[in-house]
Amino acid sequence: MKAVRVHEYGKPASVDDVPDPELQGPLDVLVEVGAAGVCRTDLHILEGQWAQKSGVGLPYVIGHENAGTVLEVGSAVTGIAPGDRVILHPLVTCGLCPACRRGDDVHCANSEFPGIDRDGGMAQFLRTSARSVVTLAEGLEPAAVAALADAGLTAQHAVRKAVPLLPATARAVIVGAGGLGHIGLQCLLAMTPAEVVVVDRSAEVLEKARALGAHRTVLAGDDVVAEVLDLTDGLGAEVVFDFVGEHGTEAQGVAMTRDAGSYYVIGYGGEVRVPTIDLISREVSVVGNLVGSYTDLRDLMALAARGLVTLSTKRYPLTSALEALDDLDGGRLPGTRAILVP
């Protein structure tokens, strides 16, 4: 099969011919990949940011936002059959550790992460687990939802955690409404009654945000913090969702957060530096956000099936994966997710 592989960190990936994956265990599921999302994490992998954390051996296949059609199932799999169209939770989890048993499968003690620490789904076929498979509702196609498997799931997970903090009287700020943030915006509007302010440096992205229902927008510039404070009665927002997490948004995000509010870190690459006296005197919470759980993905698919969360996408053939990665890295996909279609 064709697959996109990393051979050396700091160098471009390549499209290689590799053996097809095969079932290895009774709960395995073999999927023909119908669509694979291109994520900024893939860029960070190529840069080597994940090398030590993942411990993966090179070369290997990247891609962790996958949807497609079931080809074959293991001997113990029930409720899933060849021909089913599915989206895949990015983690393969054990179901037996304490985290899995309490429904926090994202922190499974024995998890594997296809595309991060083993071969992923930027390929024609992918081996996963029955525990990772969510069947798509009628009317949803793999290419339309693949990026929801990680980008969408991460956004939904952050919003779901913040729901108790965002009644109708509250304000939420989204920093960065691009490929990840535009999903978070839709989740916020679908899941909370809060007023939503979107901050971005792109006028085009802000126009898309307004079309999706953002209540207020701010073009990021030197006075962005002052502008957000002005829109929030000088107090800041109850929750700030930072979908960028680098290039200065970290300090801006904390400054936009009101006293006793929460700064949610979703994008990454930078550093959060806050004097401890400020954390104490202002009681601001800094909240990290990983990808969501299997249950979160099911909930997100329900929102997608109702048309409440949709993706702006640009599709590429699998053989154009390097072009898609370059377009993402070069900022040529504002508010849009790149999707590889094998």
Contact by Cβ (8 Å): 67, 136? yes
Q: How far apart are the first and last CA of the chain?
A: 10
Q: Cα–Cα distances in Å, from 149 out to 95, 185, 327?
A: 19, 17, 21
Contact by Cβ (8 Å): 173, 166? no
**In 51-77, which positions are buried (b, 16+ CB within 10 angstroms) versus exposed (e)?**
eeeeebeebbbbbbbbbbebbebbeeb
Is residue 44 flagged as an active site residue? yes
Which region, left, alpha or beta, applies to residue 201 given φ > 0 means left and ψ of -120 to 50 means alpha?
Answer: alpha
Sequence letter at residue 24? Q
- The rounded distance, in Å, linking the Cα atoms of 295 and 67 is 17
Is residue 107 flagged as an active site residue? no
- The rounded distance, in Å, linking the Cα atoms of 101 and 71 is 29
Give the 3-state DSSP-derived string for 43-98, with helices as H, strands as E and coil as C. Answer: HHHHHCCCHHHHCCCCCEECCCCEEEEEEEECCCCCCCCCCCEEEECCCECCCCCH
Rg (the chain; Cα; Å) = 20
- Selecting among 7, 44, 247, 319, the annotated active-site residue is 44
How do 171-175 and 195-200 pair as beta strands?
Answer: parallel
- Selecting among 41, 93, 128, 192, the annotated active-site residue is 41
- The rounded distance, in Å, linking the Cα atoms of 172 and 79 is 39
Residue 240: its H or E element: strand 237-242
Strand partners, 69: 32, 85
- The rounded distance, in Å, linking the Cα atoms of 24 and 33 is 18
**Residues with active-site annotation:** 41, 44
